Chain A
Amino acid sequence: MNQNATAASETRIDFGALRALVVDDYPGMRNALRLTLSNFGITKVQLAASASEAIFQIRNKAYDFILCDFNLGEGRDGQQLLEELRHSRLIPLETVFIMVTAESFYEKVVATAELAPDDYLIKPFSAETLCGRLVAILQRKRAFAEAYRHYQAQQVEAAIAACDRLLREQPRYAVDALRFKGELLIALGRFDEAEKLYQQVIAMRAIPWARLGLARALHLKHDDDAAEAELRDVLEHAPEMVAAYDLLADVCLARKDSQSAQEALQHGVAVSARTVRRQQRLGEVAMDNGDLDAARTAFSEAVEKGRHSIFIGPADYGNLCRVQLEQGDLKAVADTLRQNRRTLESNPDGRLVMAVTQSRLYTREGKADDAARALDIAADLRAAGAQGAPHLLLDLASACMANGRADEADAVVADVARNAHDSEALLEKARRIYAEAGREAAGRNVLASATADVRKLNNEGVVLAQKGDFRGATEKLLAACESAPFNPRVSMNAVWVILKYLDQDGMDEQMIQTARYHLAEAERRAPAHPRLAGLRLHLMEVEGRFGIKRASA
């Protein structure tokens, strides 16, 4: 393929220095791709047969170029691999990731821009096509080097300035620069500017990602009517665009229309069933809607498809067991626990899921002694620091009540309520548990006294912040955090006022650490919350301004 030497030399890309990784489950294809790459001078090629092999190699060595087949047989597919790599920040923005797919409908499985590969190739493709695409991407990344460098150094303003420079000086990359800038504006919470930017792209051509960006900006501005109209229209023209369904679900939930949110997620799952996080959300929304069949299907899919995924944790097994129990399918519960015993036993949170589920199972089977023993184990695990998702804790409370341990139950519910004073769904579920146990009055007292303090501190803090008294607001919200350490909204409010306080009063190392801690807590509790990205960047900017190196987490 020596003709390609011309293409390569014109652009001065040193193929010999490129470190490449080929991921394909089929040995014939792996070798064919390796030879194709070596034909145009890429000789540093390593091979991986599965997503886990790829992750192992990427952890151990940096690659400039990853060529990955979408279909990797059993286990994770190429898209799941890419999502994990991006999520765990295992590959920098400079690394080229090209997805190889047998289908020309690959895009339907791509959730959002940040989870998209740099390009994709439809099988079968020629060596020239591969070479041409690779060169084009490497050139683009070179043009974006400055923007990427600033972004990765947490200098978002400077990254935006670099995009603006590309817009002025390199018309070839104008649309790519707008796309990157749009994401930066959203992350900074500058939704009005983002809205204008996407309108500007749409004026050129109504490309789906721009319309989706516009809908996201509108949603974040709380203009959910306009966001929904935009999304419905996008989906009418491109019903396979799953990212639009995810966003539509956000919009519906913001308007408290969880029925429509479930429908949106179900459409998304029908197009692409493999995304673990979409199944998790569908399960949760369906559960809140009381649609047990749909919830069970979604939770089992999540656990099944995500067996090796970093996005699956003990709470997912807890969710599946809960819906199986509510359906009265005790055999299925026992099967779920048995099949996943090794995973669950490997950490305290997993053991808590087992103990709580077993206590409920034994209670249903009338085995009071076994149930009591399981509750003791759960109490010990909690005393030793196992936390458990709020739904699991409410399950625990209900098991406690069923076994005559009312005080223990009240303490657990109070714990949940303090951390979820703003979650109507959880409080409602708590009330139901008390109603079923015939203890409505006791429940009202527990919930009222548990939420009163947090609610008061949180509201006072927010009011002070709105008046510009960030020091006072910080005090109130840190007190709120103390009584509700796992409440993501309280944590995020605390981070927000601390950052405002630092903006106003300058450097305070201790406070930065506190902000960092509460942001990490909020991220753990509400990983997809739209406020997180903005807070994260704000924190990075404050850190950058005071020259603080982020401690490696």
Chain B
Amino acid sequence: MIDDDNAFYAVLIHELKNNLGLLSMTIDRIPPSGGAACDSAVDVARLQCQGVVERLQQALTIYRAKQGHLRARIDAYSPHELIAEVGQRAETLAHGRIRIDVAVDESVPPIWFFDRDLVEMALINAIHNSLVYARSVMRIEAGAGHGWLELTVRDDSAGYPGHILASVAAGAPCRARGTGLGLQFARLIAQAHEHRGRLGELHLANDGGAVFRLRLP
């Protein structure tokens, strides 16, 4: 039974994800030793560990989406709080390696309707990507207008490779590996947001670096 097998693997991944979550909390508790070599190794381990946790989370989310269970749980949340929280995460993950800028435009209303957990997962995934490729700075932005909330992660990297831009623009399925998997995931999350017939969108562009943008109706 292929379905049973899939369910079994989903449970397994779920458990691995939780075990890794514990490991990641343990790494968080290692105090700085003062030795740069040692501390940077711990930083790398922390980043890698959280990266794996997030990949597993994505895999589970995509599995659910394929089973038809990916439903956004929409409620009223503050985009300001979301960006502040995600900015803090980015700051911790970056550990001073690059600069993190956070900007919420005046146009952003005090509340918006979205699935906070899914949107946060998508943004954190984009942040992980930028942490790998950014040269010196990453910028997390929120803006609003014409009935859309726009959440953006941009960096000063060399930008997305052409084939990824092309396949996201065309709405084609991405390669289920690395960056591709994360983007497929982000697009699913955007599309799970629907309001008065409009679906959320994922936009990718190169503009002085990679620009990742979720547009939520």
Chain A residue nearest to B115 in the complex (CB):
A104
Closest to B56 in A: A124
Q: Which of A125, A127, A172 contacts B110 (CB 8 A)?
A: A172
Shortest Cβ-Cβ A-B pairs, 8 listed: A124-B21, A132-B85, A175-B76, A172-B110, A128-B88, A205-B113, A32-B25, A171-B110
- By a CB distance below 8 angstroms, the chain A residues around B168 are none
Segment at the interface with A among B67-75, B180-188, B200-208: B67-75
Kindly count the residue-residue contacts between A and B in the assembled complex, taking CB atoms under 8 Å apart: 84
- CB contacts (< 8 Å) of A36 on chain B: these are 25, 28
Q: Given A171-B111, A205-B195, A207-B74, A132–B25 Cβ distance below 8 Å?
A: no
Question: A102 near B14 (CB under 8 angstroms)?
Answer: yes
Does any Cβ of B come within 8 Å of A404's Cβ? no
Is chain B's interface secondary structure helix, strand, loop, or mixed overall?
helix
In the bound assembly, the distance between CA atoms of A171 and B78 in angstroms comes to 10
Q: How many residues of A contact B (CB 8 A)?
A: 38
Asked whether any CB of chain A lies closer than 8 Å to the CB of B177, the reply is no
By a CB distance below 8 angstroms, the chain A residues around B120 are: 129
- Measured between C-beta atoms, what is the minimum distance from A494 to chain B in Å? 41
Whether, in the assembled complex, A29 has its beta carbon less than 8 Å from a beta carbon of chain B, the answer is yes
> A3-30, CB under 8 A of B: which get 1 and which 0?
1100100000000000000000000110
Q: Does B84 contact A (CB under 8 A)?
A: yes
B101 at the interface (CB under 8 A from A): no
Q: Which residues of A contact B110 (CB under 8 A)?
A: 171-172, 174
Contact mask for chain A residues 307-350; partner B; CB cutoff 8 A; 1 contact, 0 none: 00000000000000000000000000000000000000000000
CB-contact partner of A126 in B84, B92, B109, under 8 A: B92
Mask: chain A, 128-168; 1 = CB below 8 Å from B; 0 = not: 11011100100000000000000000000000000000000
Query: Which of A3, A102, A207 contacts B113, CB < 8 Å?
Result: A207
Q: Mark B132-175, 1 if CB is under 8 A from A, else 0.
A: 00000000000000000000000000000000000000000000
Which residues of A approach B to under 8 Å, CB–CB?
1, 3-4, 7, 28-29, 32, 35-36, 39, 102, 104-105, 107, 122-129, 131-133, 136, 171-172, 174-176, 204-205, 207-209, 238, 240
- In whole angstroms, what is the CA distance A104 to B73 when docked? 10
Q: Is the CB of B111 within 8 A of A126?
A: no
Given A124-B20, A238-B71, A174 and B78 touching (CB < 8 A)? no
CB pair B92 A128 closer than 8 Å: yes
Given pairs A107-B73, A124-B25, 15 additional interface contacts (CB within 8 A): A29-B22, A35-B25, A39-B28, A39-B29, A124-B24, A128-B85, A129-B89, A131-B88, A132-B85, A172-B78, A172-B111, A174-B111, A205-B76, A207-B74, A240-B71
Q: In the complex, what distance in Å separates the CA atom of A32 from the CA atom of B26?
A: 7
A119 to B24, CA, bound (A): 22
Interface hub of B20, B24, B25, B84 (most chain A Cβ within 10 A): B25
| Shortest distance from the beta carbon of B117 to any chain A beta carbon, whole Å | 6
Chain B residue contacts of A131, Cβ below 8 A: 88
Question: How far does the Cβ of A200 sit from chain B's closest Cβ, in whole Å?
Answer: 13
In the complex with contacts A7-B88, A104-B117, A123-B81 CB distance below 8 A: no
A32 and B74 in contact, given A7-B84, A132-B81, A132-B85 (Cβ under 8 angstroms): no
**A126 to B, closest residue via Cβ:** B89
Task: Tell me, in angstroms, the Cα distance from A461 to B151 when the chains sit together.
Answer: 63
Q: Could you list some 22 contacts between A and B, CB below 8 A?
A: A3-B88, A7-B84, A32-B22, A32-B26, A36-B25, A104-B117, A122-B117, A123-B17, A123-B18, A124-B20, A129-B85, A129-B120, A131-B88, A132-B88, A171-B111, A172-B111, A174-B111, A175-B75, A205-B113, A207-B75, A207-B113, A238-B71
Range of interface residues on chain B? 35 or more
Nearest-neighbor residue (CB-CB) of A3 within chain B: B91
Q: Report if A28-B92 is in contact (Cβ < 8 Å); known contacts: A136-B78, A205-B195.
A: no
Taking the closest CB of chain B, its distance from the CB of A319, in whole angstroms, is 35
Q: Are the C-beta atoms of B84 and A132 separated by less than 8 Å?
A: yes
Q: Is B119 an interface residue (CB 8 A)?
A: no
Most chain B CB atoms below 10 A, which of A36, A123, A133, A176: A123
A127, A129, A133, A176: the one contacting B28 at CB < 8 Å is: A127
User: Is the C-beta of B53 less than 8 angstroms from some C-beta in chain A?
Assistant: yes
Q: How far is the CB of A171 from chain B (nearest CB, A)?
A: 5
Q: Which of A1, A133, A238 contacts B92 (CB 8 A)?
A: A1
Tell me, in angstroms, the Cα distance from A459 to B73 when the chains sit together.
48
- A-contact 0/1 string along B76-87, CB 8 Å cutoff: 101001001100
Report chain B residues within 8 Å CB of A209.
75
Contact B88 A124 (CB under 8 A): no
Most chain A CB within a 10 A radius of its CB, from B14, B20, B75: B75
Residue of B nearest to A26 (CB): B22
Q: List chain A residues, Cβ under 8 A from B75.
A: 175, 207, 209
* B81 lies within 8 A of A136 (CB): yes
CB proximity of A189 to chain B, nearest CB, Å? 27
Q: What B residues does A125 contact at CB under 8 A?
A: 21
Q: Whole-angstrom distance from the CB of B41 to the nearest CB of chain A?
A: 19
- Return chain B residues, CB-CB under 8 Å to A104: 61, 117
A129-B89, A175-B111 known; A205-B22 Cβ under 8 A: no
Smallest Cβ-Cβ distance to B195: which chain A residue: A205
In angstroms, Cα B71 to Cα A238, docked, is: 8
| B21 surroundings in chain A (CB, below 8 A) | 123-125
Nearest-neighbour CB distance to chain B for A191, whole angstroms, equals 23
Residue of B nearest to A121 (CB): B117
Instruction: Give A104 to B26 CA distance when docked, in angstroms.
Output: 23
Chain B residue nearest to A125 (CB atoms) is B21
Residues of the A chain whose Cβ atoms lie less than 8 Å from the Cβ of B111: 171-172, 174-175
* Distance, CA A124 to CA B120, complexed state (A): 13
Q: What distance in Å separates the Cβ of B102 from its nearest Cβ neighbour in chain A? A: 12
Q: Chain B: which residue is nearest A120 at the CB level? A: B117
Report A-chain residues with C-beta under 8 Å of the C-beta of B61. Answer: 104
